[in-house]
Structure 1
Amino acid sequence: METLLNLMASVALLVWGTHIVRTGILRVFGANLRRFLSRSVATRPSAFLSGLAVTALVQSSSATALIASSFVAQGLIALGPALVIMLGADVGTALMALVLSLDLRWISPIFIFFGVVFFLSRKNTRAGQLGRVAIGLGLILLALQLVNQATAPITQAQGVKVIFASLSGDMLLDILIGAVFTILSWSSLAMVLLSASLTASGVITVPEGMALVLGSNIGSGILALLVNLRTPGEGRRVAVGNLIFKAVGCVIFLFGMQYAIRVISNFDLDPGRQVLHFHVLFNLTIAVLFFFLTDKVAALVTRFVPGVASNVAQVEPRHLDSGALGTPALALANAARETLRIGDLIEQMLNGMLKVIKTDDKALVDQMIRLDDDVDRLYTAVKLYLTQISREALDERDGRRWTEIMQLTINLEHVGDILEGTFQALRDKKIGQRLQFSQEGMKELEEMHEKLIENLRLGLSVFLNGDLKSAQMLIAEKEQFRDLERKYSGTHLDRLSGQSVQSIETSSLHLDIISDMRRINSFFCSTAYPILEQAGQLRSSRLRSGMSTGVFAAAVPVPAANPTPAEAENGSHPPRHREAL
């Protein structure tokens, strides 16, 4: 009994380690991974490699399936490319199982030690979360050692052998057992590694271990379907298509098991590694078989799997009339109207940010993050619409307007990305750790937020009307906002020196938020530069002094005309504060 308990504890530690790695990677790189996947579907090879790379990082094909399904549900990518991503994801998890099976006992304590040090000392930073990932990797390697130690007595215990003999021997039963254990552990990677360890210890035979691997792949497909049960629209079709891949592969290898064993045994005699090679061979075979058939599978799934109506309202373009493309002035007006809609979404996200700060509403965080997907959708639509307007048919004035619209949509899309990161930080740090800002800190955030909303509205007004005086006011507001950020960074440091407990706990988050607000404000204010340049009030690096309105008493440094987002963000800004402060 003690032996079985040790084995169960080792398996539990293995599952927990894979969970820690998956959640840690998603917390650090979640937004970047989503963006990487969404931009990698231009070709089949790039989609396949992106799925492989993302799954190798998060060590969960189910997590990759959830991301790909959300993209399909939102209409950002088609079903066919999403299925190619899943083919790469399955190969990625198979390769990671092979890597983790190597004799890495020496590195396990190093991962755990340094991971704990980084996580405890810098918990709220990216380095701290990477320390969490290192802990997970160390636990996976440690758990594999414990599994090997726990299974050693099993090979000598006749009673335990009888138990395992009753669970195996029938191929279909073994596949079912592998699928059930995969679903219960919520990790096909853990099940594959466990199967390899049991085979290497002689508890089960190589054919039985391979059957468990087939079951783990079926279980992985079912898991992907389970995690996508709440995915709106067409997203769950990704999981159905992926399950079809695995089911066809299981049928093929069920009848070709003996041939696969002979092929694998020719270049590796170790029983445990034969099971892992079988796992890689299984997923590579599926990838090769379906690589050029994903569109046909997508059509089949679309035909027989009805779409489920989305519970989440999606924002779609309203004003981008393709019939107006032949009239550049009208097309530009349509694009400008759609860009203003993006500005409205950004204002919703800003208002949602302040509400989350005050109420710790986790559901609102998810809703606001989904709004960034709407921003991305409209941004893509406006960008593609503008590229269809013939540049040769534009006169000088329309050419400038084309550039202004394109630049503002790019800036607003960057603002959406910044806000998405802010919401994730609020969810993980403030809500997750139940932190509260000090009363003074909250007042500062509210004041900066109010000015940010005002500058957004003023910036959109400048974009719409091209008023010179409003553009000058916007630049003045940019300088005042920058001064306000410096002031409140200083008052926050004063509260830290006064040993305010709330300020100490929220220091990193507070400084990051006001720094993000300053970056966002710079994007809003960059709308003024084309107007000032056209009026001749911009030099290469400074505004002309002595403006007729008297807004500026002296020349004020500004970025170059039509600055890039990086220039608008960086400029002469002070360095961003870190937690060490």
Structure 2
Amino acid sequence: MPFLIALLDFAGSVALLLWGTHMVQTGVQRAYGPRLRSLLGAALRRRDRAFVAGACITALLQSSTATGLMTTGLANRGVVALVPALAVMLGANLGSTLIVQVFSFDVAALSPVLILVGVVLFRRGAGSRAHDLGRVFIGLGLMLLALHQLLGAMSRYEDAPALRALLGAVSSMPVLNLVLAAAITWAVHSSVAVVLLVMSLAAQGVVAPEAAFAFVLGANIGTAINPVLEGVSGPDPAGRRVPVGNLLPRVVGALALLPLLPLLVDFSAAWHAEPARAVADFHTVFNLALAVLLLPLLVPYAGLLRRLLPDRPIADDPGRPVYLDPAARQLPVVALGNATREALRMADALERMLAAVRPVLEPGSRVGDATPIQALDDVLDRLNAAIKTYLVSLDIDELGAADHRRLNDILRFATHLEQAGDVVDRGLRGHAAKRLRQGMAFSPEGQRELLALFDHLVPNLRMAAALFTTEDLRGAHALYAERAAFDRAESEATDRHFERLRSGRTDTLQTSAVHLDVLRDIAQINTLIVESAAPPVLERAGEAPAPSPRQEPS
């Protein structure tokens, strides 16, 4: 029973440490996520600035994995080159050691104060920056509290014979220590938490200094494994250059230092009286040494990575998602950006669909001209399904109020474009094909009216895509003005069609039903395009969107 209680105390303290780390990460992401990503993107033009930005952002997020996901996403989209992206990762590795350095001092007394400040800020209202910063302070307080509990648990049970025997057996095998620490760090997704745990064990003498150093090396490897494994499912090896480029130096450096651990322990003992400080400094020096050695060699190192992971030609499948990186789901700001990029691909596919259907409306067209439209509609269906699956897989607890709004905007945009594609394929294409099969021809006036209205669709689609990206109120007003002008033109075209019918025009009478169906389809497509992006922008500005004159398809 005492052993079981000790195990529960230990497991509970470790869980509290992990949860505190998680709260700090999510709080910083919600409060400053978009700004951090913009800062990172601006710094990636030079390797020295990229290195500093990676260290600073990781110190705030307490997660080199989060920084790596942002960097990998930017690099895979071609926004930044491989060399500065690797520099960011070197900085991120060093930044993850800064919080360990802070916690290596006796700051446990600050835990109640940090939690109190965090609770006060957290209760100031959901969705505010103070609310998010409250999570950060609560997380920091919980981390200090967990470390204090770990030290107490270790002091009570450090002389237990079974524990001593187990740790003594493990301590004699540095390679096993390294592998064990790497596996644990990969499982918990936090090298900070694992290194802090090793510091607690070393401070109580439960783990020998040589074993503690080996654990630190393993933690450095483990935190770089997860991004590589999550990227294996990607179709292009080039997308794994940044995570693999981050992992390789850590593995090589750790294996090179393993035989030297006894010498490093003796050297460290001459400088440090406290084992916990020695562990923290070894963690920092290891990452700093890798950065100093590798920063000047990043250009040839990047060339080596390009040879090891070359660009792979991929069959041109427009329905295959390109930007929905599974690894980015851990960082909402990156995942939402990826989904936005994928939704814009749907706008491109719908534009190609409209370009394909226009010839079917012109004189002299053939039924076979409509064949590519069905394939493009399938592209829209597949992309829409992939975006929805990707977004619903995000952790709701990781999303702030702004993230929820953006997620809903993306779903709305993608759904409306998919519905517009259905109208093009099942309505417009079908009605136009019916006219061609029956050998009917629109009247010259009706033909011009239909094409004039149709030619407004692509400009309006481009305007909606731009508004979806910028969320600018002026763009929403302009798009609704275009819809109002379009509705007036449609109404006038309908009135002129009826006038031709009353005058007894034979060509108008023969194609009247198809003409009105095509006119309705074009108007429905335009409504779906406008409604895909404009209403959320107007609603957030406190303006009620104008009511749609048509019921959108379900």
TM-score (norm 2): 0.60
For residues 516-563 of structure 1, give each alpha carbon's deviation from its aligned partner in whole angstroms, at most 9, with x where no partner exists. 6489x9xxxxxxxxxxxxxxxxxxxxxxxxxxxxxxxxxxxxxxxxxx
Match for residue 425 of structure 1 among 401, 404, 414: 401
- Which amino acid is the alignment partner of residue 283 of structure 1? N
Query: Given the alignment of the two structures, is residue 98 of structure 1 paired with residue 101 of structure 2, yes or no?
Result: yes
Which residue number corresponds to residue 245 of structure 2?
241
Give the Å deviation of 1:252: 2.4
Kept after mapping to 1: 8 A contact 2:69/2:334: no
Match for residue 121 of structure 1 among 119, 124, 149: 124
Match for residue 369 of structure 1 among 325, 340, 346: 340
Inter-partner Cα distance in structure 2 for 1:212 and 1:93: 16
From the superposition, tell whether residues 514 and 300 of structure 1 become closer, same or farther in structure 2 (CA, over 3 Å).
same
Give the Å deviation of 1:236: 2.0
- Which amino acid is the alignment partner of residue 241 of structure 2? R
Give the Å deviation of 1:368: 4.9
Q: Which has the higher helix share?
A: 2
Match for residue 455 of structure 1 among 478, 487, 496: 478
Kept after mapping to 2: 8 A contact 1:69/1:231: no
Inter-partner Cα distance in structure 1 for 2:343 and 2:149: 44
What SS is found at the alignment partner of 2:273? coil
With 449-458 and 180-189 compared, the bigger mean Cα shift is at 449-458
Give the Å deviation of 1:363: 13
From the superposition, tell whether residues 430 and 296 of structure 1 become closer, same or farther in structure 2 (CA, over 3 Å).
closer
Counterparts of 1:316-465 in structure 2, within 5 Å, are 368-370=339-341, 425-428=401-404, 452-456=475-479
Which residue number corresponds to residue 165 of structure 1?
168
Inter-partner Cα distance in structure 1 for 2:177 and 2:261: 13
Counterparts of 1:214-293 in structure 2, within 5 Å, are 214-229=217-232, 233=236, 234-293=238-297
What SS is found at the alignment partner of 1:152? helix
What SS is found at the alignment partner of 2:256? helix
Which residue number corresponds to residue 20 of structure 2?
17
Stretches of structure 2 that go unaligned for 5 or more consecutive residues are: 324-332, 346-398, 409-470, 483-535, 546-554
Which residue number corresponds to residue 46 of structure 1?
49
Kept after mapping to 2: 8 A contact 1:253/1:282: no
- Which amino acid is the alignment partner of residue 134 of structure 2? G
What SS is found at the alignment partner of 1:53? helix
From the superposition, tell whether residues 184 and 367 of structure 1 become closer, same or farther in structure 2 (CA, over 3 Å).
closer
Give the Å deviation of 1:123: 2.1
Which residue number corresponds to residue 27 of structure 1?
30
Inter-partner Cα distance in structure 1 for 2:235 and 2:344: 14
For residues 156-197 of structure 1, give each alpha carbon's deviation from its aligned partner in whole angstroms, at most 9, with x where no partner exists. 211221222233310100101111111121111101010111
Give the Å deviation of 1:429: 6.9
From the superposition, tell whether residues 364 and 141 of structure 1 become closer, same or farther in structure 2 (CA, over 3 Å).
closer
Inter-partner Cα distance in structure 2 for 1:281 and 1:81: 22
Give the Å deviation of 1:20: 1.1
- Which amino acid is the alignment partner of residue 248 of structure 1? V
From the superposition, tell whether residues 230 and 72 of structure 1 become closer, same or farther in structure 2 (CA, over 3 Å).
farther
Give the Å deviation of 1:230: 5.7
For residues 366-411 of structure 1, give each alpha carbon's deviation from its aligned partner in whole angstroms, at most 9, with x where no partner exists. 655336999xxxxxxxxxxxxxxxxxxxxxxxxxxxxxxxxxxxxx
Match for residue 60 of structure 1 among 60, 63, 79: 63
For residues 444-468 of structure 1, give each alpha carbon's deviation from its aligned partner in whole angstroms, at most 9, with x where no partner exists. xxxx999953514869xxxxxxxxx
From the superposition, tell whether residues 113 and 36 of structure 1 become closer, same or farther in structure 2 (CA, over 3 Å).
same
Give the Å deviation of 1:265: 2.5
What SS is found at the alignment partner of 2:43? coil
Inter-partner Cα distance in structure 2 for 1:152 and 1:221: 32
Kept after mapping to 1: 8 A contact 2:45/2:80: no
- Which amino acid is the alignment partner of residue 94 of structure 1? T
Inter-partner Cα distance in structure 2 for 1:25 and 1:230: 29
**How well do the aligned residues superpose, as a CA RMSD in angstroms?**
3.6
From the superposition, tell whether residues 284 and 453 of structure 1 become closer, same or farther in structure 2 (CA, over 3 Å).
same
What SS is found at the alignment partner of 2:296? coil
Kept after mapping to 2: 8 A contact 1:73/1:231: no
Kept after mapping to 2: 8 A contact 1:115/1:135: yes
Kept after mapping to 1: 8 A contact 2:336/2:406: no
Which residue number corresponds to residue 209 of structure 1?
212
Kept after mapping to 2: 8 A contact 1:71/1:235: no
- Which amino acid is the alignment partner of residue 273 of structure 1? R
Give the Å deviation of 1:270: 0.7
From the superposition, tell whether residues 146 and 429 of structure 1 become closer, same or farther in structure 2 (CA, over 3 Å).
farther
Give the Å deviation of 1:267: 2.3
Inter-partner Cα distance in structure 2 for 1:159 and 1:47: 48
Stretches of structure 1 that go unaligned for 5 or more consecutive residues are: 315-361, 375-422, 433-447, 460-511, 522-581
Give the Å deviation of 1:282: 0.6
Match for residue 192 of structure 2 among 189, 193, 210: 189
Kept after mapping to 1: 8 A contact 2:10/2:150: yes
Give the Å deviation of 1:106: 1.9
With 221-230 and 140-149 compared, the bigger mean Cα shift is at 221-230
Kept after mapping to 2: 8 A contact 1:52/1:91: yes
For residues 447-490 of structure 1, give each alpha carbon's deviation from its aligned partner in whole angstroms, at most 9, with x where no partner exists. x999953514869xxxxxxxxxxxxxxxxxxxxxxxxxxxxxxx
Inter-partner Cα distance in structure 1 for 2:289 and 2:480: 56
Counterparts of 1:139-154 in structure 2, within 5 Å, are 139-154=142-157
What SS is found at the alignment partner of 1:121? coil
Kept after mapping to 1: 8 A contact 2:220/2:250: yes
Kept after mapping to 2: 8 A contact 1:73/1:232: no
Match for residue 78 of structure 1 among 77, 81, 85: 81
Kept after mapping to 2: 8 A contact 1:154/1:161: no
Higher gyration radius (CA): 2
Inter-partner Cα distance in structure 1 for 2:307 and 2:301: 10
Give the Å deviation of 1:121: 3.2
Which residue number corresponds to residue 543 of structure 1?
none
Inter-partner Cα distance in structure 2 for 1:92 and 1:110: 25
What SS is found at the alignment partner of 2:108? coil
Inter-partner Cα distance in structure 2 for 1:174 and 1:32: 39
For residues 252-283 of structure 1, give each alpha carbon's deviation from its aligned partner in whole angstroms, at most 9, with x where no partner exists. 21133233223322322211111111111110
Inter-partner Cα distance in structure 1 for 2:100 and 2:129: 26
For residues 402-438 of structure 1, give each alpha carbon's deviation from its aligned partner in whole angstroms, at most 9, with x where no partner exists. xxxxxxxxxxxxxxxxxxxxx9635447989xxxxxx
What SS is found at the alignment partner of 1:9? helix
- Which amino acid is the alignment partner of residue 157 of structure 2? I
From the superposition, tell whether residues 160 and 128 of structure 1 become closer, same or farther in structure 2 (CA, over 3 Å).
same
Inter-partner Cα distance in structure 1 for 2:166 and 2:192: 24
Kept after mapping to 2: 8 A contact 1:207/1:257: yes
Inter-partner Cα distance in structure 1 for 2:344 and 2:141: 35
Inter-partner Cα distance in structure 2 for 1:183 and 1:161: 26
Kept after mapping to 2: 8 A contact 1:70/1:231: no
TM-score (norm 1): 0.57
For residues 16-68 of structure 1, give each alpha carbon's deviation from its aligned partner in whole angstroms, at most 9, with x where no partner exists. 11111111111111111111111102322111100000100000111111111
Kept after mapping to 1: 8 A contact 2:47/2:84: yes
